[in-house]
Structure 1
Amino acid sequence: MNKNKVSEILLLGLPNSGKSTLVNALTMNKTSIIGSKPNTTRDKISKIISYENDKDILISDLPGFLEKPDEFNINYQNNIDKFINEADKIFFIIDIHTKDFSGLDSIFNIINKKNLSKNVLTIFNKCENFDKNTLDKRLYKYVYNECFFVSGYHKLGLERIHDYLKNIAKKSINEHNYTTSLTIIGRPNAGKSTLFNALLNKERSTVSKVPNTTRDKIVENFETNQRKYLITDTAGIPRKKHKDQIDRYSSEISIKSLENTDIALIVVDSEIGLSFEDKRILNSSIENFVTPLLILNKWDLLDTEQKEDINNSIKRDLKQYRWVNVVRVSALNTKNINQIAKNIDFIETQLNHRISTSELNSYFRELWVKSPPHPFRGKRAKLKFVSQFSTKPPEFGFSLSSRIPKNYISFIENKIRENFNMSVIAFRIKINA
């Protein structure tokens, strides 16, 4: 039973029973990845549904249950007892057209063996244009308590499910309203999921030697000694020519996740170094004013000479972004993992730092006199006013009499980093002229 404040609904079903489609229909977005290929979902995906009166419920989608799991799903098949025990209710999702009664029996036997029947509801999916009177009588065996006939794809019959969820949803106490979000991102097999599990101190994300095991976004709560965060593990971003349709969609979700995060934990395979894809992620992060933390994973696999080479290479590659913090770790051995938490807290402090308007104007008026910008198109800009109008990321507005050269904007950025406790974060400067 789930001891958290928010009730959890766990979806169990055979591969391609439409669980991911149903989750997306209920939550009205594409948190889970949908494909016609069975067992597209490879991880437990959890999503909060919020109802009126501040009531929340957690709905979790598992990989389709396999009698003979492959390497991608064996961790989750083995841990299915744990997931079932954590859930408050179970939705048994059945494709109304299925003939795989052996597979259904496998799930049926697990439910009965654990005496969970009172917590299970049956949902028959893909019921568009289906006459309930023609239901295969063999499926009656799998009906527990209430029974729903729906179509996740066509969004039919969902009202009854929402009514049920509203009745069991619990009032939120802002337990999931974490103020700062983290996203783990990087190339396939760089060790993102291993790092995710190491930070959480539990196996939550699928780990495999096969690249691109994680295809979905996985969201969890993460606490350091000082603060609480929301942390997301994303799919690896392969080279373009190596992407299939599902991987391409996974990559889009991963890159797009940068738009809704505060800190990007960019995981790099130390044996490879900063690749073209890693640089692309770094640039995307900074372009979105998301603060990157570069994590060189598998550091323990390098000898002294290799470490020196990688350090020199990183210095060259980060010439434009010398302010970016770098942490060297071994996620597999949890070596130096505590340094990541310390860096996250340090970055979060800077992201929330606010500078008074008087302090900014005093400093930059003096700077404008000592080191004025060169004329731009024949005009030398005068500083009218400067202020910080937001945090996380910090945004600064400079009101000028005319435009200034780009290199002077970089000069301003460096001065803010040097003098105002924003040395390792991304922030925005807006020029109004």
Structure 2
Amino acid sequence: MSSSEEPGTDEVGTDAVDAGAVVKPVVAVVGRPNVGKSTLVNRIIGRRAAVVQDVPGVTRDRVSYDARWNGRELVVVDTGGWAPDAQGMAAQIAEQAELAIAAADAVLLVVDATVGIQDVDEAVVRVLRRSNKPVVLAANKVDDQRTEAEAAAMWNLGLGEPFPVSALHGRGSGDLLDAVLAALPEAPTEVFDAPRGPRRVAIVGKPNVGKSSLLNKLAGQKRAVVDNASGTTVDPVDELVDIGGVTYQLIDTAGIRRRVKEASGHEYYASLRTQGAIERAEVCIVVIDASEPITEQDLRILSMVEEAGRALVVAFNKWDLTDEERRRYLDREIERDMVQFTWAGHVNMSALTGRHVDRVGTAIEGALAAWETRVSTGKLNSFLGRVVAAHPHPVRGGKQPRILFGTQAQAGPPTFVLFTSGTLDPQYVRFVERRLREDFDFQGTPVHLEVRAREKRKNRT
């Protein structure tokens, strides 16, 4: 096979640039034991990741890998050998394969061309027909032209054209992967961003908490008008500012009123523009007056940033106006009222005196790094396996939903899709999210989890 056909040359890495909020299509690789499924998976992903041995039954669990072919990213799920009427561990392996089929967008059925069609192959075909999933047939172990005639006999399985391949040598794998891509749902049109300019940072908060003072201190000059009267800033003000050697585009915004309907005239439109500034930003600095109790307005602004999916830094300003007693009360307020924002980085600072303002740049950098973090499918599923083994989902109504596997749909913010055998309890989803944060250090960014439960089988007459 020519090097241009080699799937490994186009493999996606864990540091791939995110192309948008697109869930990668899933391909389940299935077949009876010892037909070369794991060898073919290694060929597709371009490295020896799946364990291969010349005895049946080496692969037992579903294992997911990231792959890329002809510019399309996909998730390849390797499964154990499927056998009908299996008992014991073999039955569990077969069940894992069926679950992989149910959660997949397309199925790659691997058969051994050198031994012909077996009863087990026909049993697998019956399962695949019931699944109504698109199927690509790979006739494996076709190492030379002489064996291609044996591959042609696989037409009798009734799945259309068999693609002769040699997983071991790579022969024919390019054509096979082209057929797999053709069987997958149509890829959305990719939108490539222009070269990225300075990172966009919105400074938001309720009126008169010191947003413009913070902008001036960070800029090292009086860029925004500052006055003790609330509502001095009306239009969002953009400023290129160098913080710790990094240039950021800072957006100072008008304070957000308690209710939009309470604002009138220019204040109403200023509030709308502020919401637009949050949407336009990549990270938001929410400024809170540390000398006053945390208010419902502060919490609402934090929620706006979280719902917009932006990285978050909380700046407790006016620290110079707090005494020891106020700081104790503030700790209690944070513990009681901001429990759902414990993932955000905090900076205790004074924009007036410059105390700890230098820490804002470090907090922005950390939040953006977490916001753009990508977790490979292999690492993610290894993590999910550990979590589910230690803390399985509770049984509900005699059934115990399981996480089959997961993949990261996008970064900015990190968004994960969990494919499950049933609906997960919201508290269990929150538990998985907490563990994700702990294991992958998502400090300063929202994390979104989407659960896709497997469709229930319809009763057949």
Question: Quick check: TM above 0.5?
Answer: yes
> For residues 231 and 376 of structure 1, what CA distance do their matches in structure 2 show?
49
Change (3 A) 1:200 1:376: farther
1:225 counterpart (244, 250, 261): 244
Q: Deviations over 1:6-44 (max 9, x none)?
A: xxxxxxxxxxxxxxxxxxxxxxxxxxxxxxxxxxxxxxx
> For residues 430 and 278 of structure 2, what CA distance do their matches in structure 1 show?
23
Q: Deviations over 1:277-309 (max 9, x none)?
A: 111101111122222211111110112212222
Q: Deviation of residue 257 (structure 1)? A: 2.3
> For residues 333 and 175 of structure 1, what CA distance do their matches in structure 2 show?
39
Q: What SS does structure 1 have at the residue aligned with 2:404?
A: strand
Q: Is the contact made by 1:176 and 1:221 (CA closer than 8 Å) also made in structure 2?
A: no
> For residues 315 and 432 of structure 1, what CA distance do their matches in structure 2 show?
33
Q: Deviations over 1:160-188 (max 9, x none)?
A: xxxxxxxxxxxxxx999436321111111
Q: What SS does structure 2 have at the residue aligned with 1:235?
A: coil
Q: What SS does structure 2 have at the residue aligned with 1:203?
A: coil
What does 1:87-98 align with in structure 2 at a 5 Å threshold?
Answer: none
Q: Deviation of residue 369 (structure 1)? A: 2.1
- Are residues 1:191 and 2:210 paired? yes
Quick one: which amino acid aligns to residue 418 of structure 2? F
1:353 counterpart (368, 373, 379): 373
| Structure 1: gaps (5+ residues) | 1-173
Q: Deviation of residue 354 (structure 1)? A: 1.4
Matched with 1:322 is 342
| Structure 2: gaps (5+ residues) | 1-192, 454-461
Change (3 A) 1:315 1:195: same
- Are residues 1:238 and 2:242 paired? no
Q: Deviation of residue 378 (structure 1)? A: 4.9
Change (3 A) 1:375 1:231: farther
> For residues 444 and 272 of structure 2, what CA distance do their matches in structure 1 show?
27
Q: Is the contact made by 2:205 and 2:298 (CA closer than 8 Å) also made in structure 1?
A: yes
- Are residues 1:341 and 2:365 paired? no
- Are residues 1:211 and 2:222 paired? no
> For residues 429 and 371 of structure 1, what CA distance do their matches in structure 2 show?
18
Q: What SS does structure 1 have at the residue aligned with 2:214?
A: helix
Change (3 A) 1:429 1:191: same
Quick one: which amino acid aligns to residue 202 of structure 1? Q
> For residues 322 and 186 of structure 1, what CA distance do their matches in structure 2 show?
18
Q: Deviations over 1:295-327 (max 9, x none)?
A: 111110112212222222222211222222221
Change (3 A) 1:350 1:226: farther
> For residues 422 and 282 of structure 2, what CA distance do their matches in structure 1 show?
32
Q: Deviation of residue 243 (structure 1)? A: 1.7
Runs of 4+ with deviation above 4 angstroms: none
Matched with 2:387 is 367
2:296 counterpart (265, 276, 294): 276
1:413 counterpart (433, 440, 446): 433
Q: Deviation of residue 212 (structure 1)? A: 0.5
Q: Deviation of residue 390 (structure 1)? A: 1.6
- Are residues 1:391 and 2:411 paired? yes
TM-score after normalising by structure 2: 0.54
Change (3 A) 1:291 1:367: same
Change (3 A) 1:388 1:340: same
Q: Deviation of residue 397 (structure 1)? A: 1.2
Quick one: which amino acid aligns to residue 225 of structure 1? G
Quick one: which amino acid aligns to residue 187 of structure 1? K
Matched with 2:279 is 259
Greater Rg by CA? 2
> For residues 233 and 214 of structure 2, what CA distance do their matches in structure 1 show?
13
Q: Deviations over 1:334-375 (max 9, x none)?
A: 111001111111111112221111011111022212211124
> For residues 199 and 410 of structure 1, what CA distance do their matches in structure 2 show?
36
Q: Is the contact made by 2:207 and 2:230 (CA closer than 8 Å) also made in structure 1?
A: yes
> For residues 245 and 380 of structure 2, what CA distance do their matches in structure 1 show?
29
Q: Is the contact made by 1:386 and 1:398 (CA closer than 8 Å) also made in structure 2?
A: yes
> For residues 386 and 223 of structure 1, what CA distance do their matches in structure 2 show?
39
Q: What SS does structure 2 have at the residue aligned with 1:393?
A: coil
Change (3 A) 1:179 1:403: farther
Q: Deviations over 1:232-255 (max 9, x none)?
A: 111011233752221011111112
Among the aligned pairs, what percent are the same residue? 28
Q: Is the contact made by 2:314 and 2:344 (CA closer than 8 Å) also made in structure 1?
A: yes
> For residues 179 and 198 of structure 1, what CA distance do their matches in structure 2 show?
19
Matched with 2:443 is 423
TM-score after normalising by structure 1: 0.57
> For residues 388 and 428 of structure 2, what CA distance do their matches in structure 1 show?
11
Q: What SS does structure 2 have at the residue aligned with 1:320?
A: helix
Q: Is the contact made by 2:217 and 2:351 (CA closer than 8 Å) also made in structure 1?
A: yes
